[in-house]
Amino acid sequence: MLRDFILPIMEVDGWEWLVAPVHQLISWGASAAMVFGGVVPYIPQYRDIKRTQNAEGFSTYVCLVLLVANILRILFWFGRHFESPLLLQSIIMIITMLLMLKLCTEVRVTNELNIKRRSFSDFDLNYFWHWNKFTDYVQCVLAFTGVTGYITYLSLDSVVFVETLGFLAVFTEAMLGVPQLYRNYQNRSTEGMSVKMVLMWTSGDTFKTVYFLLNQAPFQFSICGLLQVFVDMAILLQVYFYSCYPQKPVSHTTHPASTKAL
């Protein structure tokens, strides 16, 4: 009788011993996916641009959106601490977007025949984010970080400011696909855009949103994650529509904001 009672207990303890490390491994894997998964979609796009020496199909406003969103998210962390993987993800994403900008700038300058020097220090809004040197983009990012960082430092005691900052951070990131969505609409085509990148966006954003919900992240993260998935799906619908029903390209007058991605 005693043997029949002890054996089931040993079996339960054995299963608990096995489940605990498996659960820990899954948790580590999910955290690693959150940290590095965000940059994976840009690997095929980076390789395509480097191989073809053509960046026309990629909107560098995507880089602008992600740089702003992740800088704001890091500042939000100082007002309301969230999980470390999300903080590390922001740091790695900023580095990745700077690398994308560097490549796109070099490719565009190489392909342009008549290059008129345009720099961040000109403070010309007509050429904002259309500069000739990578250092100008770095100056802009540093200036934005300095100004927003100073304002955040002065306002950390305000709960309203901190929560608003968090919402702006994730809402800006949720708008990530909008520049690409608009660019595809302008071109009446998705040529030059990496479909693999968008598929990875969609799968990554879906995973990220589920991660937010399960880990009880600040509510701003979950709401804007759902919005981000919706935008990704809209871009995939463009891929289907423009491939099945090719459109005649719309001619645009030469203007830095409409014909150039950089």
Q: Is position 168 within any domain? A: yes
Asked if residues 217 and 87 have their Cβ atoms less than 8 Å apart, the reply is no
Asked if residues 57 and 192 have their Cβ atoms less than 8 Å apart, the reply is yes
* Percent above pLDDT 90 for the chain: 24
Measure the CA–CA gap between 257 and 159, rounded to whole angstroms. 37
186-214 pLDDT tens trace:
888 887 777 887 888 888 888 878 877 88
In this predicted structure, the answer to whether residue 9 has a pLDDT above a threshold of 60 is no
- Which amino acid type is present at position 257? A
* Percent above pLDDT 70 for the chain: 83
Confidence of residue 142 (pLDDT cuts 50, 70, 90): very high
Number of neighbours of residue 262 by Cβ within 10 angstroms: 22
Confidence of residue 10 (pLDDT cuts 50, 70, 90): very low
Apex 242 CA angle, 238 and 243, nearest 5: 115
Number of neighbours of residue 118 by Cβ within 10 angstroms: 16
Q: Is position 235 within any domain? A: yes
- pTM for the full model? 0.72
222 sits in which H/E element: helix 219-244
User: Which residue did the predictor score with more confidence, 260 or 148?
Assistant: 148
Q: Is position 196 within any domain? A: yes
Q: Is position 236 within any domain? A: yes
Q: Is position 225 within any domain? A: yes
Section 219-231 average pLDDT = 83
Q: Which residues contact 39 (CB under 8 A, 6 or more apart)?
A: 92, 93, 96
Q: Is position 2 within any domain? A: no
Confidence of residue 6 (pLDDT cuts 50, 70, 90): very low
Q: Is position 256 within any domain? A: no
42-92 pLDDT tens trace:
888 898 899 988 887 788 888 998 999 999 999 999 998 877 888 898 999
Helix (H, G, I), strand (E, B) or coil at 156: coil
How many distinct structural domains can be found in the chain? 1
CA dihedral 111, 114, 116, 118 (to 10 degrees): -10
User: Which residue did the predictor score with more confidence, 223 or 149?
Assistant: 149
- Average pLDDT score over the chain: 80
Give the residue numbers spanning the domain of 167: 36-110+128-244
Q: Is position 25 within any domain? A: no
User: How distant, in Å, are the alpha carbons of 92, 93, 96, 208, 232 from that of 36?
Assistant: 7, 8, 10, 12, 19
